[in-house]
Amino acid sequence: MAPWPPKGLVPAVLWGLSLFLNLPGPIWLQPSPPAQSSPPPQPHPCHTCRGLVDSFNKGLERTIRDNFGGGNTAWEEENLSKYKDSETRLVEVLEGVCSKSDFECHRLLELSEELVESWWFHKQQEAPDLFQWLCSDSLKLCCPAGTFGPSCLPCPGGTERPCGGYGQCEGEGTRGGSGHCDCQAGYGGEACGQCGLGYFEAERNASHLVCSACFGPCARCSGPEESNCLQCKKGWALHHLKCVDIDECGTEGANCGADQFCVNTEGSYECREMDKMESGCWVGGPSRTLTPPSPQDVDECETEVCPGENKQCENTEGGYRCICAEGYKQMEGICVKEQIPESAGFFSEMTEDELVVLQQMFFGIIICALATLAAKGDLVFTAIFIGAVAAMTGYWLSERSDRVLEGFIKGR
């Protein structure tokens, strides 16, 4: 229960203010609790042991020129043993081995402190490598380089060059891991001794392998060129040693939603949302491909799009058409040369009966003109008249007369 407010205005105001400040504030004014961050991954015990040994060796280097720090160093070394192998130096080194925040180092040091003391006083001469003696042989936390696992088995590729020198052996140097090789980019195989997907052997000898990249969409190849492909990546098809893009939108290989349209990309496709105001042409099938309208017309005639002789391309809005060249016409799918008709005669539109009458009138005029000249007594014209009458009569009666005269009158 809150105390009763004191008497007087000022004390009462101060009492109310203090009471108000001690009340919990609204939720939106209260500070949010700090975000819970995931704890950092714990290092492998072998790595912790290696760090401890490395720090111990640095401490030895730091104290190599130190002594007991008393006034008579010669007497101290003679009677209290030499400083370099003394317990005093060991304690000074161990005090600085682990940082204050390195919990794993402190825990391991606590477990192995007696082993470190045993090595310091009794094992240094026969086992000068503290890491090997402590971490591998005594605590069995680590393995020699190039080995892995509880039994320290050799990594793929051997202990000299694990993973062929082109990868990392999982668990190498520890009592854990699978020994699987994590190969560098471009390398593959159990021991990274082969070229990986999308790479080819550019150079190889007994101890050296160089893998170079294939041409973009090639999964396997014999060289770096576009025409060196042997196998294609997903979304591409092999055609005459080249990888060509598969149009998933046109081959019903796409799977887009009801309100989406398919857009083909290199080696894949995209399903994009259909805008209500968007216009275009739908292509049938489950891929629901939309061909959006082009912002301006493309002249397809700039490329060779009309095969065949005597054909030419005519560009249209949004497309093109193939027509025959000038002087040619379309006939049964090909362009053939047009036949130019011969010029017609003056009397080409006349009927056969009209031609007969006209022939008779023509010969009548000629005979009358000759007869008039002969009547004047001129022997020459008389002879011509008689000969013309005889010749025209004979020719008139011949089978060819009509054809010749008809051709003559028609201009043939």
Task: Tell me, yes or no, whether 121 lies in a domain.
Answer: yes
Identity of the amino acid at 252: E
Residue 225 is assigned to a structural domain of this protein = no
pLDDT at 149: 94
Q: Is residue 154 part of a domain?
A: yes
What pLDDT score does 202 carry?
Answer: 93
358 lies in some domain: no
Per-residue pLDDT at 406: 59
Output the pTM of the full model. 0.48
Q: Which residue has the higher pLDDT, 352 or 10?
A: 352
Last residue of a domain, one of 336, 363, 381: 336
Claim to verify: residue 52 and residue 136 sit in the same structural domain? yes
Amino acid at 284: G
Predicted pLDDT of residue 10: 47
pLDDT-based confidence at residue 317 (cuts at 50, 70, 90): confident
The full 3-state SS of 195-216, as one line of letters, equals: ECCCEEEEEECCCCEEEEECCC
On the question of pLDDT at 256 being above 80, the answer is yes
In this predicted model, which residue has the larger pLDDT, 82 or 40? 82
Count up the domains in the chain and report the number: 3
Residue 288 has pLDDT above 50, yes or no: no
pLDDT tens-digit series, residues 264-287: 898 899 998 876 544 444 444 444
Confidence of residue 337 (pLDDT cuts 50, 70, 90): confident
Radius of gyration of the chain (CA): 56
pLDDT at 19: 58
Indicate the DSSP class of residue 142: B
Q: Give the domain extent around 135.
A: 43-142
Answer yes or no: do 98 and 170 share one domain.
no
What single DSSP character describes residue 132? I
Q: If you average pLDDT over residues 59-72, what whole number do you get?
A: 72
- Per-residue confidence band for 24, with pLDDT thresholds at 50, 70 and 90: low
378 lies in some domain: no
For every residue of 230-276, DSSP letters joined together read EEE-TTEEEETTEEEE--TTTTT-----TTEEEEEETTEEEEEEPPT
DSSP, residue by residue, 305-327:
---STTEEEEEETTEEEEEEPTT
Q: Are residues 134 and 149 in the same domain?
A: no
Q: Are residues 192 and 150 in the same domain?
A: yes
Q: What are the tokens at 47?
A: 């790595």
The answer on 166 and 181 residing in a single domain is yes
Q: Are residues 63 and 123 in the same domain?
A: yes
Mean pLDDT within 188-203: 93
| Helix, strand or coil, per DSSP, at residue 399 | coil
Q: Of 126, 142, 158, which marks where a domain is finished?
A: 142
For residues 384 and 390, what is the distance between their CA atoms, to the nearest angstrom?
10
Query: Helix axis angle, 352-375 relative to 401-410, nearest 10°?
Result: 100
pLDDT tens string 359-408: 767 776 777 776 676 666 666 666 666 766 666 666 555 545 555 555 55
Q: Both ends of the chain: CA-CA distance in Å?
A: 139
Residue 273 belongs to a domain: no
Secondary structure element (H or E) that encloses residue 396, with its range: helix 379-397
Q: Considering the domain boundaries, does residue 354 fall inside one?
A: no
CATH number at residue 326: 2.10.25
- CB-side neighbour CA atoms (13 Å) of 273: 3
On whether the CB atoms of residues 155 and 179 are closer than 8 A, the answer is: yes
326 plus 310 within the same structural domain: yes
Residues 132 and 371: their CA atoms lie apart, in Å, by 151
Percent with pLDDT over 70 in the chain: 64
Q: Is 229 helix (H, G, I), strand (E, B) or coil?
A: strand
Q: Which two tokens stand for residue 285?
A: 């099938």
**Residues 137, 147: one domain?**
no
pLDDT digits (tens, 9 = 90+) for 326-335: 888 877 667 8
Where do we find the tokens 């004014």?
A: 29
Task: Give the residue from 168, 195, 213 where a domain finishes.
Answer: 213
Do residues 75 and 135 share a domain?
A: yes
Tokens of 393: 């009569």
Beta strands at 268-273 and 260-265: parallel, antiparallel or unpaired: antiparallel
The per-residue pLDDT for range 202-231, each reduced to its tens digit, is 999 988 999 999 999 999 999 999 999 999
Higher pLDDT, residue 232 or 24: 232
Q: Residue 43: its pLDDT value, please?
A: 82
Average pLDDT over the chain, rounded to an integer: 78
| 51 lies in the same domain as 138 | yes
Residues 132, 193: one domain?
no
**Both 76 and 122 in a single domain?**
yes
Q: Is residue 190 part of a domain?
A: yes
Rounded mean pLDDT of 152-181? 94
